[in-house]
Structure 1
Amino acid sequence: MDTTPKSSTTLDDCTLIMREAINGAGIALADTMMAQDLLQQGKLVAPFSARHTYPAGIYLHQRRSIGNKPGTGLFQDWLLSEVEDHKRVMAIA
């Protein structure tokens, strides 16, 4: 059986990839952080329960001059909390 697709499109923008999958253009490999809401709304379906962490991780980079401004620590704490909530919801170790 030949499994080679008759045609294909390669996209490198996660938003476009998910939009095309929602529109029925095929399957998408997407970052769960970008796809979480669409998965929860049922607009996207994950055919497998396996989730994988990105080995390089997620990094927050800020200029040194920003580090001491009021609210910077609050933002960083909020952002890291959002990432941890996402991992819990998506069952990512």
Structure 2
Amino acid sequence: DAAATALPDWSATPPRTRAEVLRKVHALMIERLEPLAKIITLENGKPLADSRAEVRYAAEFFRWYSEEACRNLGSVSHAPAGGY
């Protein structure tokens, strides 16, 4: 419901502004990597090093889409690592 409510405003947001929002999320995740990793470790019991890697991996999606936000040309491309 929250996503449906937010959609009209978000879809009217200029691509550059969307990119800045997503880039900020990436920056905040990296800035808060340690507390986020500790939460993952406490929740799942995985080693802290794995949790840190998971936070970095997740943050990369926000950076990737922040870079793509201004290039929304309606086409599909492959992820930088390939194979996806």
Report TM bin, short chain: 0.3 to 0.5
| Greater share of helix | 2
Q: Which one has a bigger Cα radius of gyration?
A: 1
